[in-house]
Amino acid sequence: MRKDRIVPQEEQEFLNHYSPKDYDRPSVTADILVFSMIDKKLHILLIKRKGHPYKDYWAIPGGFVGINESVEDAAYRELKEETNIDNAYLEQLYTFGNPNRDPRMRVISVAYIALVSASKMKESAGDDASEVCWFPVNDLLEQLETEDILAFDHEEILHTAISRLRGKIHYTDIAFQLLPKEFTMRELMEVYEEILNTKLRLTNIIRDTAPRLIFTGEYRKNDVVHCRPSKVYTFNKDYFKKY
Amino acid sequence: MRKDRIVPQEEQEFLNHYSPKDYDRPSVTADILVFSMIDKKLHILLIKRKGHPYKDYWAIPGGFVGINESVEDAAYRELKEETNIDNAYLEQLYTFGNPNRDPRMRVISVAYIALVSASKMKESAGDDASEVCWFPVNDLLEQLETEDILAFDHEEILHTAISRLRGKIHYTDIAFQLLPKEFTMRELMEVYEEILNTKLRLTNIIRDTAPRLIFTGEYRKNDVVHCRPSKVYTFNKDYFKKY
DNA sequence: GGAATAGTGTCTGTTAGACACTATCTA
DNA sequence: TAGATAGTGTCTAACAGACACTATTCC
């Protein structure tokens, strides 16, 4: 329940005279892990830090949550600033709240995962194009095993995000969120392979996702020579798999 | 990677002169949903609000996160205050960050789930015993379909928690966290039944959880008359099921 | 025709719900 | 012995990985 609670007059009077106490407060940011499939590889958007601390390290984009803005709205705003995309799949990941995460001040970060289709992306991400970069995720993960590249606790945040994606790919629609409206079976499989970082069999992906797909009636010629064209599919939004 | 990064001297100097700007900041609380099995029923700990707003409504216990305290530590502190338990299973649930959640001021709440064994609980929960109450969860959920009982957005938080527990019970160890060190198969099944709010078959629970259990060698006489005693088990902490 | 991928159908091992049946205890 | 729950074993349907085999395209 809970639709429009009737606020008793007594309570209304209390509220009129209430002023928030001046606690010593942490700052709150919304950080956003933007994933996209680019050139058949899963990529994540990172920005290079221009100043201290962690100067020249790469960081997950984020920004402070406004005092009258929901945390989710802050994440959407951040996404818009970085990718110029208004609507995208957005999911809260986890809240990272250790003191000393940021040596400057106490910051609590609510991390979000955004999945965007490369086709939706408009040009120029942000102002300084040179400071923003798409990293191929699996290459990055490998590199992180031996090198420190990410600022703050952002490596931990990235690993948390990957675990989430891997865990959810089989029973949710996240794979489709990374594809354009129309796609082939092979493209869909590539999303699975990139997220799970394994080789899969096209045939099993077909079977598992078929009920959620609609054949558009069109075929697409393949990049490869001597090859039968693929059926073009659309995601059936009305289908919900149990969970 | 990321163990002990060497902070360059240049960066250290920057930090020495950095002072956090005075942004207008939301307050952050750690709210904690404490679950326990009491009298064969899953219960949640709620406190009755003594003041406005939502006077006399029931609320999930919570408190402000200290400026030098991790959010998780704040949750542990809150748990200790309410139940007098030091160590318990604690898991971050979700962060609720809409403005107007609390009519007094902007509050962002990081919600945690705590699972405690009734046997570990010491007496007296908090100061005013009369203000703290254990609610049987499934009865409460039913009541919430027709009545507003919970303060703020706490009904939504509760539903999120229940979904999480139901989703994780089959592939994690949360059921065991609600039981004392030693327990019978029937007690374990009762945890499953309470969380899922369904009737299950003992025999299937036995099969599914067997690899994670250790038979203590002891038997326990049953409450019911004319009945064969149950084997007493312990949770095998070393066993990790894939996920 | 041959190379190459698209797509179908099937085999198999695993898993989860259901339940028949046996085991063991106490009044 | 009867009543009751403990616990074993098995049937079955759903599912997922593997792969044999067919289909279709272009050079």
B123-139 average pLDDT score: 74
Which of residues 182 to 201 on A have a Cβ less than 7 angstroms from any strand C atom?
184-186
How many helices (H) and strands (E) are present in chain A, helices listed first?
Answer: 7, 10
> What is the Cα A7 distance to its own chain's centre?
38
By residue count, chain A amounts to 243
CA separation for the pair B106, B102 (Å, rounded) = 7
CA A153, A158, A159, A160 torsion-angle sign:
positive
Q: Which residue of A has its CA nearest to B13?
A: A52
For residue range A149-189, what is the model confidence (pLDDT) as tens digits? 999 999 999 999 999 999 999 999 999 999 999 999 999 99
For D9, which residue's CA is nearest its C1'?
B203
Distance from CA of A79 to the nearest CA of B (A): 17
* Contacts (Cβ under 8 Å, ≥6 apart) of B233: B182, B183, B184, B185, B188, B213, B214, B215, B216
Using the CB atom, is residue B226 less than 7 Å from strand C?
yes
Exposure of B124 in the CB half-sphere (CA atoms within 13 A): 4
CA separation for the pair A171, A214 (Å, rounded) = 18
User: Rounded to two decimals, what is the model's pTM?
Assistant: 0.90
Q: Report CA-CA distances (Å) from B162 to A44, B75, B137.
A: 32, 18, 9
- Cβ contact (<8 Å) for A11 and B97? no
Q: Which residue has the tokens 């029937």?
A: B186
In the structure, how far is the CA atom of residue A194 from the C1' atom of nucleotide C5, in angstroms? Answer: 20
State the pLDDT at residue B17: 59
Residue B12 scores a pLDDT above 70: no
Select from A57, A94, A102, A108 the residue whose CB has the most chain B CBs within 10 Å, as the one to mutate to test that interface: A108
CA separation for the pair A18, B108 (Å, rounded) = 18
Question: B215 phi and psi, to 5 degrees?
Answer: -75, 125
B151 burial (CB, 10 Å; 0-12 / 13-18 / 19+) is buried
In the structure, how far is the CA atom of residue A205 from the C1' atom of nucleotide C11, in angstroms? Answer: 18
Question: A96 phi and psi, to 5 degrees?
Answer: -105, 115
Residue B85 vs residue B223, higher pLDDT: B85
**What percent of chain B has a predicted confidence (pLDDT) above 90?**
69
For residue range B37-48, what is the model confidence (pLDDT) as tens digits? 999 999 999 999
Task: Give the SS3 label for residue A211.
Answer: helix
CA separation for the pair B119, B172 (Å, rounded) = 21
Select from A106, A144, A149 the residue whose CB has the most chain B CBs within 10 Å, as the one to mutate to test that interface: A106
* Contacts (Cβ under 8 Å, ≥6 apart) of A74: A29, A30, A63, A64, A65, A66
A-chain residues within 8 Å CB-CB of B95? 71, 92, 95, 110
For residue range B53-62, what is the model confidence (pLDDT) as tens digits? 999 999 999 9
CA separation for the pair B130, A236 (Å, rounded) = 53
State the pLDDT at residue B225: 65
Q: Report CA-CA distances (Å) from B3 to A147, A148, A152, A156, B8.
A: 11, 9, 11, 12, 15
- Cβ contact (<8 Å) for B99 and A70? yes
A-chain residues within 8 Å CB-CB of B18? 52, 104-105
- Cβ contact (<8 Å) for B15 and A103? yes
- Cβ contact (<8 Å) for B67 and A25? yes
Render each residue's pLDDT in chain A as its tens digit; 243 residues. Answer: 555 666 667 666 655 655 544 457 899 999 999 999 999 999 999 999 998 899 999 999 999 999 999 999 999 999 998 888 888 999 999 999 999 999 999 999 999 999 999 877 765 455 554 589 999 999 999 999 999 999 999 999 999 999 999 999 999 999 999 999 999 999 999 999 999 999 999 999 999 999 899 999 999 887 766 788 999 999 987 765 433
For chain B, first and last CA: distance in Å? Answer: 23
Which residues lie across from A92 on neighbouring strands? A112
Catalytic residue IDs of A: 131
